Chains A and B, each alone.
Chain A
Amino acid sequence: MTLQKGKVFKYGRDVNTDVIIPARYMSTQNPKELAAKCMEDLDPDFAIKVREGDVIIAEQNFGCGSSREHAPIAIKASGVTCIVANFFARIFFRNAINIGLPVFEIPEMTDDFKTGDAIEYDIEKGYFKNLRSGNTFQAKPFSPEVQEIFKAGGLIQYIRNQVK
């Protein structure tokens, strides 16, 4: 079990990819530059406060709107190791999995957390513990297709293995 610790950034419903990374910053593909502007229109403090190992927890429909993969890239490069939401918008879910950013749908978990909570978690096991409330949560396992992509470290690595 690889336990990690971090703090939580908690957001509401319908966090769209335009606020995760506004189009005015999308003229770069550099993950670090994107991360510096991540969440600017929703939470201007995010990019300043976020640290390696932190977790985003949100309500329903996280990542809705534009298909821009710059959104999960920005979040991943910011140091956030995974996102938990009630559920994700479809394209964002695929994009996150494809770039190797773990995303978990655990609707019963989101109400238990608020911004700043300390969290202990194990990504491989889909295990989460709120160190403030003491409550623990377990994600359902991914579908076999998604697990394959995860194991390879992302879709490109997965198809590279296939092409070889």
Chain B
Amino acid sequence: MNLTEQFLAYASGKNKVEPGDIVTVYPDIMMGNDVTASLAIKILNDAGLDKFHDINKMFIVMSHYVPNKDIKTSEMTLLCREFAKKHSLPHYFEAGKGGIEHALLPDEGYVVPGDIIIGADSHSCTYGAIHTFATGIGSTDLAAAWVTGKIWLKVPKSIKAVFHGIPKNPWTSAKDLVLHLIKEIGDDGATYMAIEYHGDAITNLSAEGKLTIANMAIEAGAKNAVFPYDKSIEDYEKSRAKRQFKHFEIDRTAKFDRVYEWNVENLEPQISFPHLPSLAQPVSKVMAQKIKIDQVFIGSCTNAKMEDLRIAAKILKDKKLAPWVRGVAIPASQKIYLEALKEGIIETFIKAGFSTTGGTCGPCLGGHYGIVGPGETMLSTSNRNFVGRTGHPKGQTYLCNPAVAAASAVAGYIVDPREIAG
């Protein structure tokens, strides 16, 4: 069995499962954020359901519109806060005490290898990076799972994505591997399917790099992303895991619906054009188009972990934003924000001319803290560039890695980081 099948067979108490089988599993973590959990809570309140299977597995993370951006969102977070208090939920993360769920939960050891995770947020596929089965759901599914402790899932077909080689461009990163994958297979190329990642280019990545790749599996429509357990995950968990964990071995007889092999030696940093992540082009081609930018956003659950911030700061050190560029930098969690502060990264951002805050999704979903205006162009390390996603529907958002974002902020145009950092 491939990894996704092994996870779902084990979790449902079966010896073997096949794509198309329906299984019932009891997830280790059932998570919602301020937007989705507040709706789940309303659904529960309306239905008069207030008994839960296991409050230790219920996670609510305030991330999208926090700190409260207006009166309406204050009512949403209030609903979550009162619910968490009423039921004495041990895993309620208030604004300022957590961050974006997909950075917070792995980085602070709540999610551990071997887990089954459902999250009412499409980027819940992120956790697959550290060898879990993790998938996104909606608010009603979350509400029902909180009550019953379980959820039905269809065993998906799996895609095997194999990446070989070491990129020659020193600024090509995990983000570029996943943008390349989405470009190759399409925005719907993995719909209803799992993606399992293999190859030396994957093994060479840190756990944080793997988190970036898993995060964007949903951008190809995938149900989940899954990575083999390896040394980078083992090292990552040493100082983090809050629970005992397990892993599954690679079965050499595993079946895949499709297999892709890519050599990434010549892969350049990729830029996704408005308004789809799949519209990626290599930075050398993009540079020739001299795309002027109004705002740069370094943040989101995709690319605002320590590794990402260190890369951006390395480029921004002792440099200034182009006069016409506004910079917004939002470390993904409060822990990361503090770590970045101690390392001098935040100072570098501020001296370069960035606005900074921590632990919120910000303009990634057009929430707050850097909304894109009509006709404006934003270059962003986030994950989606749909029409109206990051602000005004006439805004244009391009996606890229943190090095490209930092270098382009200085140049004022989308550039190869080598133009600024050598």
B182 nearest CB across to chain A (Å): 12
Beyond A60-B188, A90-B221, A162-B148, whether A156 also contacts B136 by CB under 8 A is no
A138 contacts the other chain (CB 8 A): no
Q: Does B184 contact A (CB under 8 A)?
A: no
Q: Which positions 36-85 of chain A face chain B at CB distance < 8 Å?
A: 40-42, 60-61, 64-70
Does B144 contact A159, Cβ atoms closer than 8 Å?
A: yes
Q: Does chain A have a CB within 8 A of B345?
A: no
Residue B282 CB within 8 A of the other chain = no
In Å, the complex CA distance between A69 and B301 comes to 20
List of B residues within 8 angstroms of A69 by Cβ? 36, 39, 120, 138-140
B187: A residues at CB distance < 8 A: 14, 61, 64
CB atoms of A67 and B221 under 8 A apart: no
- Distance A114 CA – B76 CA, assembled complex (angstroms): 39
Shortest beta-carbon distance from B382 to chain A in Å: 12
Q: Which residues of B contact A162 (CB under 8 A)?
A: 148
Q: Does A102 contact B (CB under 8 A)?
A: no
- A135 at interface by CB-CB < 8 Å: no
- Name the A residues within 8 Å of B218 (CB-CB): 65
A residues less than 8 Å from B70 (CB atoms): 27
For the complex, give the distance between the alpha carbons of A156 and B393 in Å.
Answer: 35
Complex Cα distance, B389 from A154, in Å, reads: 29
Residues of B342-366 contacting chain A, CB below 8 A: 365-366
Is the beta-carbon distance between A89 and B221 smaller than 8 angstroms? yes
User: How many interface residues does A have (CB within 8 Å)?
Assistant: 42
Docked-complex contact B148 and A65, CB < 8 angstroms: no
Instruction: Give the residue among A13, A19, A22, A27 with the most B Cβ atoms within 10 A.
Output: A27
A40, A90, A98, A159: which contacts B148 (Cβ < 8 A)?
A159
Complex interface: chain A residues within 8 A of B329 (CB): none
Interface residues of A in 74-110 (CB under 8 A from B): 87, 89-91, 94-95, 98-99
Taking each of A90, A99, A156, which has the highest tally of chain B beta carbons within 10 Å of its own beta carbon? A90
* Residue picked from A67, A68, A160, most chain B C-beta under 10 Å: A67
Size of chain B's interface in residues, with CB distance under 8 A? 50
Residues of A within 8 A of B121 (CB): 66-67
* Contact B36 A99, beta carbon cutoff 8 Å: no
From B41-49, B229-237, B315-323, give the one contacting chain A. Answer: B41-49
Query: Quick one: given A65-B122, A69-B39, A95-B141, are A163 and B191 in contact (CB under 8 Å)?
Result: no
**B49, B76, B137, B223 pick with most chain A CB within 10 angstroms:** B137
A66-B122, A67-B121 known; A156+B188 contact, CB < 8 A = no
Among B124, B140, B188, B221, the residue within 8 A (CB) of A99 is B140
- Measured CB to CB, the residues of A under 8 A from B are 13-14, 16, 18-19, 22-24, 26-29, 40-42, 60-61, 64-70, 87, 89-91, 94-95, 98-99, 143, 145, 154-156, 158-160, 162-163
Q: List chain B positions with a Cβ less than 8 A from chain A.
A: 22, 35-36, 38-39, 42-43, 47, 49, 51, 64-65, 69-70, 72-73, 76, 120-122, 124, 136-141, 143-144, 147-148, 152, 187-188, 191-192, 218, 221, 223, 276, 365-367, 384, 386-389, 391, 393
A-B contacts, 30 of them at CB < 8 A, read A16-B384, A16-B386, A18-B365, A18-B386, A19-B387, A22-B388, A24-B388, A29-B39, A29-B76, A61-B191, A64-B188, A64-B221, A66-B122, A67-B121, A67-B124, A67-B136, A69-B120, A87-B191, A89-B188, A89-B191, A91-B136, A94-B138, A95-B139, A98-B140, A98-B141, A145-B22, A156-B49, A156-B144, A159-B144, A162-B148
Given contact pairs A40-B393, A66-B121, A163-B51, a sample of 6 additional A-B residue pairs in the complex whose CB atoms are under 8 Å apart: A14-B276, A16-B386, A24-B391, A67-B124, A87-B191, A163-B49
The 4 closest A-B pairs by CB, nearest first: A95-B138, A27-B72, A98-B140, A61-B188
